[in-house]
Chains A and B, each alone.
Chain A
C-alpha cells in the first residue's frame, strides 16, 4: 500500500468518525423563547404599571396612617394583611386581563409553530425560536384570541418549581438553621471588626467570617443541593427528558416534574 492510499484511508476514517454520526437523530427544534422585558415595555403594560404604582403610592400613605393607630402586633399584622389584599385586588384588576391576553397570544403562537415549550430569553444563549414579535403582534391586534384547542404536546424540556422544593421540611429546616447561624456570626464578627485596629486585621477577620459561613454552608446545604440535583436527574431520566430548568424560566408548556422530584426526595 503506497503512502497516498494510506492517507486517503485514514482521511476517510477520520471523516467518517467526525462527520458521519453513528445514530443521527432530529435536533431539538420545538423550543421557543420570549423576551419578557420587551413584552413588559409594550405601552399597554407600561401604562398599567404606572397606574398600579400610582395606586400603591396612595395606598402607602393610607397604610402609614393606619399602622400608626395599630397598638398591638396582631393589629399591625391585620392592617398589613388588609392593605396587601387591597393591592393584590387592584393588581388583578389592572394587570390580570392583560396577562391573560398575553398568555393566550403565547399559546396561540406556540401552537402555530408546533412548540412544546416556551422559555424566558435569559436562559437561551443560542438557537431556539424567538416568538416575541409574533406574540406582541397578536397581543396588540384587535382580534379576540381563542384558547388553544389542546394542551401543548409533551416536551423533552422539564421543569421543577424550586420554591416548592425549598419548602420541603428538611430543606426549610436547613435554610432556617443556616440563617440563624449566619445572623449570629454576623453579630460576632461585626463586633470584632469594629474593634480591629488596622485594615489588615479587618481583612483577616473578614476572611475568617467568610470561611465560617462557607464551611457551615458546605456542611448544611451542599448535601441537600446535591441530593436534589441527583433526584431531579433520576426523574428526568425516567421521564426521558433531555434537560430540566427552573419553573421561573418556563413561560408555556414543558413537563412539570416538581411532584416527582418531591416524591423522589421523600423516599
Chain B
C-alpha cells in the first residue's frame, strides 16, 4: 500500500475512480440495467445450458452414458434371475431329469414284461403245435432265457445311456463351475467398481467443498487483480495468494487421492482372496454333487445287470422246433429293441432338452442376474444425486448474483422470454471462475 500512497494526488483520484467504476461494473452485472422497462427486475437462467458448463458435467455425462450402456446391454432377451432363482430352477431341472429316468426305466420294465408274456404265448403255441408235452413249462423256461436276453439288451441300452449321462453331467458340471467362477468374478469386479466410484465421488465432493470454501477469497483476489492500476508488487502478492489457494486445494486433494488409492489396492487384494476361496468352495460342492449323481446312476445300472441270470436253453428239442423258437425269439427281440429304442430316444430327447435349459440357466451372462439391475439402480441414484448437487450450486450462484445486482425475481427453465434478463452467461462465468 505504501507504493500507492506515494503516487501524486491526481493519479490517486484516477486510481480510486477506476477501482470504483470497476467495482460498480462488477456489481451491476457487467452493465445490465435490472430496472429498465424490458428487464423490470426479472431474470432467468437456462438450467440445461448452465449444467453443461458445470465443472462436474463430465462426471454427469459419464454416469448417464454408463446407465444407457447397461440399459442397452440389458435390451438383449434375457431373463433376469437372482442366484436363489438359478439354484431353485436347477433343482427343478435335476428333479425332472431324475423323473424322466425313472419313467423310462418303468416303461422299459413294462415293455419287457409285455414282450416276455407275448413271446411265451408264441413259443407255447409253437411247442403245442409240435406236440411237445408240457409246452407251457418249457415255454416259461425258454422265456426266462429269452427274457434274460431282452434284459441284456435293455441293460446294454441302459449302459450306453449311462455313458451318455456321465458325459452330459460332467459337461454340466464344467459349465456350472465356469459360470459360478464367472459370476463370482463379475461380482467382485462390481464390488471393486462400486468402491472405486464411491472413493471417486468422495474426491469430487472434497474438490467441490474446497472450491466452495475458497470461492469468496478467490473472487476477492480476482477482483483485486482486475484492477489495472495495481502495482506490480501487489499484483504479484495477489497472484501468489491465488497460487497458494490452488496449491492448498491440490495438496488436500492429492492427499485424499493417495489414501484412496491405497484403500482401493487393499480392497482389491481382499476381494481377490475372498473370490478365490468362494470359487474353490462352490466348484468343490458342484463336483461332489456330480460324483454323487454319477454314482447313483451307476448303482442303478449295476443293480439291473446283477438281476440278469445266465440263460438256460433247452437242448432236447427237435432242430426244426429249436429253429422256430429261435425265429420267434429273434422276432420279439427285434420288436422289443425297436420299442425300447423309442423309449430310450424319448428319454434322451427329454434329457437333452433339460441339459439345454440347464446350460442356459448357468451359462447366463451376469447381465441376466439381478446384479445388472442393482448396478443400474445405484448408478441412477448417483446420477440423480450429482445432478441435484449441480443444480443446487447453479441456483445458489444465480441467487447470489441476483441479490448482488438487485433483481426482484429470477426464474429457471422458461419456455420463452421476450423480456427479463438472461443470467445464464453470468452464472456460467461464475461457475467457471470458481473452478479454474
A241 to B420, CA, bound (A): 10
A266 at the interface (CB under 8 A from B): no
Query: Which residue of chain B has its CB nearest to the CB of A21?
Result: B33
Binary contact track B416-430/A, C-beta < 8 Å → 1, others 0: 111110000000000
Is the Cβ of A11 less than 8 Å from the Cβ of B21? yes
B20 within 8 Å of A (CB atoms): yes
Q: Which residues of B contact A202 (CB under 8 A)?
A: 69
Q: In the complex, identify which listed stretch (A41-49, A51-59, A87-95, A119-127) lies at the interface while the others stay far away.
A: A119-127
The answer for the CA separation of A2 and B24 in the assembled complex, in Å, is: 25
Query: Does B408 contact A127, Cβ atoms closer than 8 Å?
Result: yes
Which residues of chain A from 174 to 202 have a CB within 8 Å of any chain B CB? 186-187, 189-191, 193-194, 202
The answer to whether A18 touches B20, judged by C-beta atoms less than 8 angstroms apart, is no
Number of interface residues of B (CB under 8 A): 47
CB neighbours (8 Å) of B21 from chain A are 11, 14, 18
> Known interface pairs A18-B28, A245-B415. Does A126 touch B40 (Cβ–Cβ under 8 Å)?
no
Interface string of B399-436 (1 = CB under 8 A from A): 10011000111111111111110000000000000000
CB distance from A205 to the nearest CB of B (A): 9
The answer to whether A25 and B37 have CB atoms under 8 Å apart is yes
- Residues of the B chain whose Cβ atoms lie less than 8 Å from the Cβ of A236: 416-418
CB-contacts of B360-395 with A (<8 A): 395
Cβ distance B337 to chain A, nearest Cβ, rounded Å: 46
User: In the bound complex, what is the Cα–Cα distance between A24 and B418 (angstroms)?
Assistant: 18
Is the CB–CB distance between A194 and B76 below 8 Å?
yes
Contacts of A245 in B (CB 8 A): 411, 413-415
Within 8 A of B (CB), among A187-231: 187, 189-191, 193-194, 202-203, 206, 209-210, 229
Interface residues of A in 65-87 (CB under 8 A from B): none
Q: B35 contacts the other chain (Cβ, under 8 Å)?
A: yes
Complex contacts, B73 vs chain A, CB 8 Å:
190, 193-194
Does B31 lie at the interface of the complex (its beta carbon under 8 Å from any beta carbon of A)?
A: yes
A3-36 to B contact mask, C-beta < 8 Å, 1/0: 1100100110011011101111111110100000
Known A14-B24, A23-B37: A125·B411 in contact at CB below 8 Å: yes
CB distance from A5 to the nearest CB of B (A): 10
Q: Is the CB of B409 within 8 A of A28?
A: yes
Whether B41 sits at the interface, judged by CB under 8 Å, is yes
- Chain A at the B interface: mostly helix, strand, loop or mixed? helix
Check A243 against B414 for contact (C-beta < 8 Å): yes
Q: Which residue of B lies closest to A11 (CB)?
A: B17
A87 to chain B, nearest CB (A): 27
**Closest Cβ–Cβ distance, residue B333 to chain A (whole Å):** 52
Most chain A beta-carbon contacts within 10 A, residue among B10, B13, B41, B42: B42
Hey, which chain A residues are within 8 Å of B358, CB to CB?
none
Is residue B129 contacting chain A, with contact meaning CB distance below 8 A? no
Whether A25 pairs with B36 at a CB distance below 8 angstroms is: yes
**Complex interface bits, A112-137 against B, C-beta within 8 A gives 1, otherwise 0:** 00000000001111111000000000
The answer, among A25, A123, A186, for a CB contact under 8 Å with B40, is A25
**How far apart are A162's CB and chain B's nearest CB, in angstroms?**
8
Q: Which residues of A contact B403 (CB under 8 A)?
A: 126
Is the beta-carbon distance between B72 and A209 smaller than 8 angstroms?
yes
A31 touches B75 (CB 8 A): no
A256 at the interface (CB under 8 A from B): no
CA distance A160 to B65 in the complex (A): 32
Contact A28 B408 (CB under 8 A): yes
Task: Tell me if B197 is interfacial: C-beta within 8 Å of chain A.
Answer: no
The residues of A that contact B10 with a CB separation of less than 8 Å are 2-4, 7
Which residues does chain A contribute within 8 Å of B344, judged by CB atoms?
A: none
Residues of B within 8 A of A162 (CB): 415
Nearest-Cβ distance from residue B182 to partner chain A, whole angstroms: 15
- Asked whether B91 is an interface residue with its Cβ less than 8 Å from the other chain, the reply is no
Set B14, B20, B416: member contacting A232, Cβ < 8 A: B416
Any chain B CB within 8 A of the CB of A244?
yes
Q: Which one of B14, B20, B420 contacts A242 once the chains associate, using CB atoms below 8 Å?
A: B420
- Distance of B384 from chain A, by nearest CB (Å): 15
Decide yes or no whether B135 CB sits under 8 A from chain A.
no
User: Is B37 within 8 A of A7, CB to CB?
Assistant: no
Cβ of A242: which chain B residues have Cβ within 8 Å of it? 40, 42, 417-420
In the bound complex, what is the Cα–Cα distance between A40 and B2 (angstroms)? 62
Q: Are A210 and B399 in contact (CB under 8 A)?
A: no
The docked-state distance in angstroms from the alpha carbon of A127 to that of B65 is 36
Which of B13, B25, B35 is the one whose CB lies under 8 Å from A27? B35
CA–CA, A148 and B417, complex, Å: 30
Tell whether, in the assembled complex, residue A229 and residue B398 are in contact, meaning their CB atoms are under 8 Å apart: no
Contacts of A10 on B, CB cut-off 8 Å? 17
Query: A11-B17, A190-B75, A194-B76 known; 19 other A-B pairs, CB under 8 Å?
Result: A3-B14, A14-B24, A19-B28, A21-B33, A27-B409, A28-B42, A28-B409, A125-B45, A126-B399, A126-B409, A126-B410, A193-B76, A202-B69, A203-B69, A236-B418, A242-B40, A243-B44, A244-B415, A245-B415
Chain A residues in contact with chain B, CB under 8 A? 2-4, 7, 10-11, 14-15, 17-19, 21-29, 31, 122-128, 156, 159-160, 162, 186-187, 189-191, 193-194, 202-203, 206, 209-210, 229, 232-233, 236-237, 241-246
List 26 A-B residue pairs with CB atoms under 8 Å apart, sorted by A's residue number: A22-B33, A23-B36, A24-B35, A25-B35, A25-B37, A27-B40, A27-B41, A29-B41, A29-B408, A123-B413, A126-B399, A128-B409, A159-B415, A189-B72, A193-B72, A203-B69, A206-B72, A210-B65, A232-B416, A233-B416, A233-B417, A233-B418, A242-B419, A243-B411, A243-B414, A246-B415
